[in-house]
Structure 1
Amino acid sequence: MPDVLGKFSEEIKGKKAMFLLVIATTDVSLIPGITIAGATEELTHFTPPADAEFLILGKCKVINAIPVTPSGLPTPAVISRASLSLLKINALVVDAGSKIKPKIPYVDLGGEPGRDIRKGSLKREVAERIVERGTILGEELSNDYELLIIGESIPAGTTTAMATLVGLGYDAMDKVSSASPDNPKPLKRKIVEEALRELPSDLMGRLSKLSDPMLLGVAGISLGFKGKVLLAGGTQMVAASAVIKELGREKLKDVGIGTTRWIVEDKSSDIIDLARQTGVKLSFVNLDFSRSRFDGLRAYERGFVKEGVGAGGLSLFATLQGISEERILSKVEEIYENLLKEAK
Structure 2
Amino acid sequence: MEAVTVHLGDFSSHMRELSRGFLFTLVIGTTDTSLVPGITIAGAKPELTHYTPAADAEYLVLGRCQVIPTVPMTPDGKPTPALITRAVIKLTGAGVLVVNAGARVRPNIPIIDLQGEPGRDIRTGLAIDRSIVDRVFSNGVILGENLARVSGAIVIGESIPAGTTTAMAFLVAMGYDAWNKMSSASPVNPRDLKIAVVKEALRNAGIDKPLEDPLEAVSRVGDPVIPAMASIAIGAARRGAKVLLAGGTQMAAVLAFIKHVDRGVLNNVAIGTTKWLINDRTADLIGLVREVAHVPVASANLDFSNMPYEGLRAYEGGFVKEGVGAGGVSIAAISKGYSINQLQEVILSNYEELLKGMGNTA
Query: Which range, TM-score by smaller chain?
Result: over 0.9
In structure 2, what is the Cα distance between the partners aligned to 1:330 and 1:339? 14
RMSD of equivalent CA atoms: 1.2
Alignment-derived partner of residue 213 in structure 1: 224
1:38–1:70 CA contact under 8 A, matched in 2: no
2:86 paired with 1:81: yes
The equivalent position to 2:207 in structure 1, one of 199, 207, 224, is 199
Secondary structure of 1:143's aligned partner: helix
Equivalent of residue 305 in structure 1, options 320, 335, 338: 320
Separation of aligned partners in 1, 2:285 and 2:169: 15
Residues 1:263 and 2:277 are matched in the alignment:
yes
SS of 2:299's partner is strand
**Worse-matched range after superposition: 39-48 or 2-11:** 2-11
Question: How many residue pairs are counted as aligned between the two chains?
Answer: 344
User: Is the CA contact 1:264–1:270 (under 8 Å) kept in the aligned structure 2?
Assistant: yes
Matched, 1:6 2:14: no
Superposition deviation, residue 235 in structure 1: 0.4
1:330 match: secondary structure: helix
Structure 1 residues 70 and 183: CA distance shift in structure 2, 3 A: farther
- Worse overlay, 288-297 or 70-79: 70-79
Q: What stretches of structure 2 of length at least 5 have no aligned partner?
A: none
Q: Which residue of 2 aligns with 1:172?
A: 178
- Aligned partners of 1:9 and 1:320 also within 8 Å: no
Q: Partners of 2:75 and 2:40 in 1: how far apart?
A: 10
**1:163 and 2:177 correspond:** no
In the other structure, the counterpart of 1:333 is: 348
Contact 1:39 1:69 in 2 (8 A): yes
CA distance in 2, matches of 1:265, 1:176: 13
How many Å separate the matches in 2 of 1:122 and 1:255?
Answer: 26
Q: CA deviation at 1:202?
A: 5.1
Alignment of 1:43-82 (within 5 A): 43-69=48-74, 71-82=76-87
Secondary structure of the 2:145 match is helix
Per-residue deviation, 1:341: 1.0
Match of 1:240 in 2: 254
Q: Specify the alignment match of 2:287 in structure 1.
A: 273
| Unpaired segments ≥5 residues, structure 1 | none
Q: Report deviation, 1:70.
A: 6.2
Alpha-carbon separation, structure 2, partners of 1:10 and 1:146: 11
Q: Which amino acid aligns with 2:225?
A: M
**Sequence identity percentage:** 51
Q: Distance in 2 between matches of 1:34 and 1:67?
A: 17
- CA drift at 1:207: 2.0
1:123 alignment counterpart: 129
Q: Deviations over 1:18-51 (max 9, x none)?
A: 0000000000100000000011111100000100
